[in-house]
Amino acid sequence: MAKPPNNAKSAPKHKKGAAKKNKSTSSGVNAEDLLRFYRQMLLIRRFEEKAGQLYGMGLIGGFCHLYIGQEAVVVGMMAAANKQDSVITSYRDHGHMLACDMDPNGVMAELTGRRDGYSKGKGGSMHMFSREKNFYGGHGIVGAQIPLGTGLAFAHKYKEDGGIAHAYCGDGAINQGQIYESFNMAELWKLPVIYVIENNRYGMGTSIERASATTELYQRGASFGIPGAQVDGMDILAVKAAGEKAAARCRAGKGPFILEMKTYRYRGHSMSDPAKYRDKEEVSKVRKESDPIDNLRDKLIAAKVADEATLKDIDKDIKAIVTAAAEFAQASEEPDPAELYTDILLEA
Amino acid sequence: MATQILMPALSPTMTEGKLAKWVKAEGDKVASGDILAEIETDKATMEIEAVDEGILAKILVAEGTEGVPVNTPIAVITEDGEDVGDIGVAAVKAPTPAAPAAAPATAAAAPRPSSQPAQEPDYSGPTVHISVREALRDAMAEEMRADELVFLMGEEVAQYQGAYKISQGLLDEFGPKRVIDTPITEQGFGGLGIGAAFGGLRPIVEFMTFNFAVQALDQIINSAAKTLYMSGGQMGAPIVFRGPNGAAARVGAQHSQCYASWYAHVPGLKVVAPWSAADAKGLLKSAIRDPNPVVFLENEILYGQTFDVPDDPDFTLPIGRAKVERPGADVTITAFSLMVGMSLDAAEALATEGIEAEVINLRTLRPLDTDTIVQSVRKTNRLVTVEEGWPTAGIGAEIAAVIMEHAFDDLDAPVARVAGADVPMPYAANLEKLALPTVDQIVAAAKSVCYR
């Protein structure tokens, strides 16, 4: 899986099949885990669909970046995480919150800008946090979460708490200079951080080929000596297996690791994206052939882990959770006007 | 259950749109993700997808219709075997009308802290005579001894002992885990420090000069200052950004800027600018203990100047409190950092001409100690502000506005500003001199507001 990144000259040319290497079997994953992953991915899918609906109804404002299509990445990575690990990402973040076990009600209520949202309605779609769940946001400046995540790793190492940081960014962010500043310090100081690059092929409307001089993003740490691997981000078991290897290396004090997740988003960059930069066939082909939820569903049935009836029950459960979240998010009141001037500074 | 499809809002600003085209026809089966229709918004043509599966039972708005308001029902989707007549009961809940917005508060109506920060403690114990440089070092060393979570990082802070020798001896005492040389990567280690603060540590990040901190400005503002608010109070960043600010001597335009007003503009930051060694020590200790991000603006020329400092590891100074360095009844002069010394020199000169100036050492630029300035102006009825940075949108401009708001009737003359020249800092010795405030300028400004 891990490719030696040290010799840039031997970097392979773009290989379509590279991502296939991490297709895993379900070895080491029990039926209960598989069903849990299915539930978690489905929760994200249905939650995001509902968010899209609420946006259409004008109940969610501003920017709203949906995670639909990429569910296997964060659910697979969280399957490889320990409780003390910290997670940080950018603005396509609802999936990460749900995968960190944050309450769907609180997330949805933040999307609607209500007082019971995770940030009391003051953060919105892009800015939610949970100290309790070690979720550190929710950041809106492309790439800026990577130095922050590197700092979380610094804190793990300093406090010797055994945790590692999971710092996510997209293929669009990967050309920001501060990411390489972070790579340098992380390897220099052997910080326990996994950089998860969610390569969904488009930074907003610009395809990776039009934005990146080199498109094998797992090699972007090569000049710092950071190993990387390319993973089929549509296959949750491949993600989990890669995440476990990377995490083990970090926990052993060997420094950072880069995982490039080849994934895809079905929806636009944000809600107001007319998606003229890719054709519909491309989207429907991925949906049809590589959907992470359908794939796992097929596996569950083939392995007789679950039958249609069980899966239908799960569907129903998830739908109920999401419906309840949407209702909660509409019933919750707007923040008290007095909240305008709170949470600016802590009492010294 | 039948559901209505509503005209969606497809951008942050859309209020109505054109139903350009129906992709599905009445009676068509639709699955989750299928494109139903195309909508023209104020920005682009967008598609709307089905969320649930069912039958497109009825189209309520014909294609080609313009100006369809957001949330108008445009179609009905039924489950298999269901009648369109059911829609009455099952309509999608209309959005709840937003609560009436509170009247926007004006700046003046913003709540001010009900209680002033603690008064400066009366100190009558022994003092030591040390430089600002030593005072800063002692403050960090004492706080690092007291709290394991405090560490120092920056360029050349460890083995080199500090580019300006502020961290002299700290590596020896605390070791490389807590005194960390960084690569030259301000945005990177600025952000890393903030992440470490989120993670529970108490970083002190030294910038070799605040001119270089501009590379980290995004992190300081967007990550350090705003996150507490964006997180509804959950995620504060207890961090100190410190280093020399403003002009040294003959280092040119890119190494000589005063950034005081840049940082003072930002809610979520505290901004401190010490003058004396006692200021430096007492305020830096408070800054390190503070749970908020503090921008601590030092001055290279002051590093070597010596002052009496209380010889007591418990000595701190409250952030948010100005100090009247010299009382006087005729004119108020506000200043911070290096300009405090020059203002005191100006006050000496003014005294020889019979004008008693009250010199206020601001110490903190955010939150500004408005009360101390207002009280002084109520007494003197005249105000001169002094700063090394540019006048436009500067600290003096802010103080003039504050005084107009709070003490307009007390003023006997317009507020006068003394500031650096509104030019990039020149290199030539004579030009640089012309670009920086002088004692003579302060004296002249004070005399002018006294109509002398």
B182: nearest Cα among B220, B213, B222:
B213
Say if A12 is an interface residue toward chain B (CB within 8 Å): no
Task: Give the C-alpha separation, B137 to B171, whole Å.
Answer: 11
Chain-chain contact of B232 with A118 (C-beta, under 8 angstroms):
yes
The rounded mean pLDDT for chain A is 92
Across B388-411, b (16+ Cβ under 10 Å) vs e yields: bbbbeebbbbbbbebbeebbeebb
User: Nearest CB to B232: which of A123, A156, A341?
Assistant: A123
User: Nearest CB to B33: which of A159, A182, A287?
Assistant: A287
DSSP-derived secondary structure letter, A59: S
Give the torsion sign (CA, A195, A198, A202, A203). negative
Give the chain B residue nearest A348 (alpha carbons): B290
Q: Is B158 exposed, middle or buried (0-12, 13-18, 19+ CB in 10 A)?
A: buried
Task: Give the C-alpha separation, B134 to B147, whole Å.
Answer: 20
Lookup: tokens for B41: 């918004």
Whether A304 contacts A34, CB under 8 Å = no
Say if A136 is an interface residue toward chain B (CB within 8 Å): yes
Mutate to test the interface with A, among B198, B240, B292 (most CBs of A within 10 A): B198
Do the domains at B3-90 and B127-310 have one common CATH topology? no
Question: Residue B286's pLDDT is what?
Answer: 98
Whether B264 contacts B245, CB under 8 Å = no
| Shortest Cα–Cα distance, B360 to chain A (Å) | 24
- Please tell us whether the domain made up of B323-449 is placed in CATH 3.40.50.920: yes
DSSP-derived secondary structure letter, A70: -
pLDDT higher than 70, residue A269: yes
**Amino acid at position A186, single letter:** A
Q: How far is CA A259 from CA A31, A38, A147, A301, B258, in A?
A: 26, 22, 17, 29, 42
Residue A53 falls inside a structural domain: yes
One of B143, B155, B255, B300 is an active-site residue; which one? Answer: B255
Mutate to test the interface with A, among B92, B151, B212, B229 (most CBs of A within 10 A): B229
Provide the CA A31 distance to its chain's centre, in angstroms: 23
Lookup: tokens for B257: 């800027």
**Element (DSSP H or E) covering residue B36:** strand B35-40
Task: Give the C-alpha separation, B42 to B13, whole Å.
Answer: 8
pLDDT higher than 60, residue A323: yes
Give the chain B residue nearest A184 (alpha carbons): B183
Tokens 């802590």 locate to A346
Indicate if B129 belongs to the active site: no
Which tens digit of pLDDT belongs to each residue from A200-246?
999 999 999 999 999 999 999 999 999 999 999 999 999 999 999 99
| Shortest Cα–Cα distance, B451 to chain A (Å) | 42
Residue A7 falls inside a structural domain: no
Say if A144 is an interface residue toward chain B (CB within 8 Å): yes
Question: Residue B98's pLDDT is what?
Answer: 41
Mutate to test the interface with B, among A86, A110, A158 (most CBs of B within 10 A): A158
Work out the pLDDT band at A9, boundaries 50, 70, 90.
very low
A268: nearest Cα among B6, B25, B45, B16:
B45
Strand partners, B334: B360, B385
User: What are the φ and ψ backbone dihedral angles of B319, each rounded to 5 degrees?
Assistant: -75, 135
Helix A31-56 vs helix A292-302: crossing angle, to nearest 10: 150
Residue A340 falls inside a structural domain: no
Q: How far is CA B395 from CA B273, B295, B360, B365, B384, in A?
A: 12, 15, 14, 8, 12
Chain-chain contact of A154 with B229 (C-beta, under 8 angstroms):
no
Chain A residues close to B231, C-beta within 8 Å: 118-119, 123, 127-129, 137-138, 343
Lookup: tokens for A43: 């929760």
User: Nearest CB to B228: which of A49, A275, A346?
Assistant: A346
Residues found in chain B: 452
Residues 6+ apart with CB under 8 A from B1: B79, B82, B86, B90
Which tens digit of pLDDT belongs to each residue from B27-39?
999 887 788 898 8
Cis amide leading into B367 (omega within 30): yes
Residue A336 falls inside a structural domain: no
Question: Residue A29's pLDDT is what?
Answer: 87
Give the chain A residue nearest B225 (alpha carbons): A344
Task: Give the C-alpha separation, B65 to B84, whole Å.
Answer: 22
Task: Give the C-alpha separation, B81 to A215, whole Å.
Answer: 50
Chain A residues close to B47, C-beta within 8 Å: 275
User: What are the φ and ψ backbone dihedral angles of A25, each rounded to 5 degrees?
Assistant: -90, 180
Whether B359 contacts B343, CB under 8 Å = yes
Give the torsion sign (CA, B9, B11, B15, B21). negative
Task: Give the C-alpha separation, A110 to A122, whole Å.
Answer: 8
Strands in B294-298's sheet, in edge-to-edge order, are: B179-181, B150-154, B202-206, B240-244, B294-298, B270-272, B364-366
Architecture label for domain B3-90: Beta Barrel (2.40)
| Shortest Cα–Cα distance, B300 to chain A (Å) | 28
Give the torsion through C-alpha atoms of A229, A232, A237, A239, to 10 deg. 40
Interface size between A and B, measured as CB pairs under 8 A: 220
One of B143, B186, B298, B388 is an active-site residue; which one? Answer: B186
DSSP string, A104-163: HHHHHHHHTT-TTSTTTTSS-TT---BTTTTEEEE--STTTHHHHHHHHHHHHHHHT-S-
Residue A342 falls inside a structural domain: no
Chain-chain contact of A272 with B194 (C-beta, under 8 angstroms):
no
CATH at A316: 3.40.50.970
3-state secondary structure of A230: strand
Per 3-state DSSP, what percentage of chain B is helix, strand, and coil (rounded to 5)? 35, 20, 45
Q: End-to-end CA distance of chain B: give it in Å, rounded.
A: 86
Task: Give the C-alpha separation, A171 to B82, whole Å.
Answer: 45
Mutate to test the interface with B, among A107, A339, A343 (most CBs of B within 10 A): A343
Positions of chain B with pLDDT lower than 70, given as ranges: 1, 80-81, 83-118
Task: Give the C-alpha separation, A153 to A149, whole Å.
Answer: 6
Per the structure, how many domains does chain A have? Answer: 1
Question: Residue B84's pLDDT is what?
Answer: 62
Strands in B357-361's sheet, in edge-to-edge order, are: B323-326, B357-361, B331-335, B383-386, B416-418
3-state secondary structure of A297: helix
146-165 in chain A: CB under 8 A from chain B: 146-156, 158-159, 165
Residues 6+ apart with CB under 8 A from A262: A19, A199, A230, A231, A232, A233, A234
Question: Residue B118's pLDDT is what?
Answer: 66
User: What are the φ and ψ backbone dihedral angles of A326, each rounded to 5 degrees?
Assistant: -65, -40
**Amino acid at position B385, single letter:** T
Which tens digit of pLDDT belongs to each residue from B428-441?
999 999 999 999 99
Whether B418 contacts B437, CB under 8 Å = yes
Give the chain B residue nearest A181 (alpha carbons): B188
Q: How far is CA A265 from CA A67, A68, A150, A228, B318, in A?
A: 7, 6, 26, 22, 51
Chain A residues close to B117, C-beta within 8 Å: 348
Q: How far is CA A8 from CA A4, A222, A262, in A?
A: 9, 7, 21
Chain B residues close to A49, C-beta within 8 Å: 32, 51
3-state secondary structure of A327: helix
Say if A45 is an interface residue toward chain B (CB within 8 Å): no
Residue A299 falls inside a structural domain: yes
**Amino acid at position B156, single letter:** E
Homologous superfamily assigned to B127-310: Thiamin diphosphate (ThDP)-binding fold, Pyr/PP domains (3.40.50.970)
Task: Give the C-alpha separation, A248 to A242, whole Å.
Answer: 10
Chain-chain contact of B230 with A345 (C-beta, under 8 angstroms):
no
What's the longest Cα–Cα distance across chain B?
100
Question: Which structural domain, as residue segments, surrounds residue A39?
Answer: 19-326
Q: What is the pTM of this model?
A: 0.89
Residue A226 falls inside a structural domain: yes
Tokens 């946001």 locate to A137
A80: nearest Cα among A296, A238, A191:
A238
3-state secondary structure of B133: helix
Chain-chain contact of A147 with B192 (C-beta, under 8 angstroms):
yes
Chain-chain contact of B233 with A343 (C-beta, under 8 angstroms):
yes
